[in-house]
Amino acid sequence: MVQALAVVMRCDQFFSHTTAAGLWGAPLPSHVQDRSAVHVSTAGAGPLMRRPGIVAHRAHVTPDQVTTLDGGLRVSSPARAWFECAAELDLRSLVIVGDALVGRSEHTTIGDLAAQIRPGNRHVRLARAALDHVRVGSESPMETGLRLDVIDAGFPEPELNLEVRDDAGHFLGRVDMAWPAYRIALEYDGDHHRERDAFRHDQRRGNGFAVSDWLVIHATGADAVRTAVLFERLRQAFAQRSRIHVE
């Protein structure tokens, strides 16, 4: 539908909101993906696009807030699309979209997101709350969600995608989340970890972490949904390391 609409859109019209975010590759919740509606904004005072399946918006934009993708699709910039998504998404989903967009350095930055938050818009409070949690380094929606759950459970905020080295400076690996002061790492194991070569590589890497006195806790997709057991393991790890720090 997007490609068909692009043919008839005027030069003052562009794809916006979650439609634009999706075109930028941002992960959207299933209930948004399942909708057939397409968001089209009209800049200035021109007539809105009125067609079945279209959600029409009036927009006041600057030239840097609209861009053209490969293929000629005019869309909201990544940062503007993120702010527009505050009208449709909840806090968690908005953080996930923000993490995905800033995680691709060629797309946008956290500073760009902040610059799009316009006082007077009724979604400012939600956008600001989400911005406080957006971080560079999360590589999937599940990783972002797990990080938010870890913080909500009362753990310190982890560093993301940390490169870990042993005491001699040799590279051991890069971990999804880490608390280097405690030498605790949390890894989200996706499907690729089930492949034989990846499993063997992870085993070798895990041995290096153990020798260097790192505790590595692994989380699966099931752990990310039902976190009680995972968080108990994480609490035990912090308790163990806290005793070491005291001693």
Same domain as 101, residue 164? no
Same domain as 35, residue 150? no
Choosing from 131, 152, 178, the residue where a domain stops is 131
Q: What's the structural domain count of the chain?
A: 2
Same domain as 17, residue 122? yes
Kind of pairing between the strands at 13-15 and 38-43: antiparallel
Same domain as 114, residue 206? no
- Residue 86 domain-assigned? yes
- Residue 136 domain-assigned? no
Choosing from 131, 152, 175, the residue where a domain stops is 131
The confidence score (pLDDT) of residue 166 equals 87
Same domain as 168, residue 50? no
- Mean pLDDT by groups of 10 residues along the chain of 247 residues: 89 97 95 89 94 94 94 96 97 98 87 94 95 95 95 97 90 92 90 45 61 88 90 95 60
- Residue 18 domain-assigned? yes
- Contact (Cβ atoms closer than 8 angstroms) between residue 161 and residue 176: yes
Same domain as 184, residue 119? no
Closest CA to 2 of 13, 82, 211: 13
- Residue 20 domain-assigned? yes
Same domain as 123, residue 19? yes
CATH number at residue 230: 3.40.960
Give the tokens for residue 216.
């590595």
Same domain as 147, residue 118? no
Give the tokens for residue 164.
């870990």
Same domain as 118, residue 30? yes
The confidence score (pLDDT) of residue 196 equals 39
Choosing from 131, 162, 192, the residue where a domain stops is 131
- Residue 66 domain-assigned? yes
Domain span at 57 = 2-131
The confidence score (pLDDT) of residue 242 equals 81
- What is the SS3 assignment for 154? coil
As a whole number of angstroms, the distance between CA 166 and CA 202 comes to 16
The confidence score (pLDDT) of residue 179 equals 97
The phi and psi torsions of 42 (rounded to 5 degrees) equal -115, 125
pTM assigned to the model? 0.88
Using CA atoms of 56, 59, 64, 67 in order, give the dihedral in degrees to the nearest 10: 10
Same domain as 124, residue 222? no
As a whole number of angstroms, the distance between CA 45 and CA 66 comes to 16
Same domain as 151, residue 83? no
Same domain as 63, residue 101? yes
The confidence score (pLDDT) of residue 27 equals 96
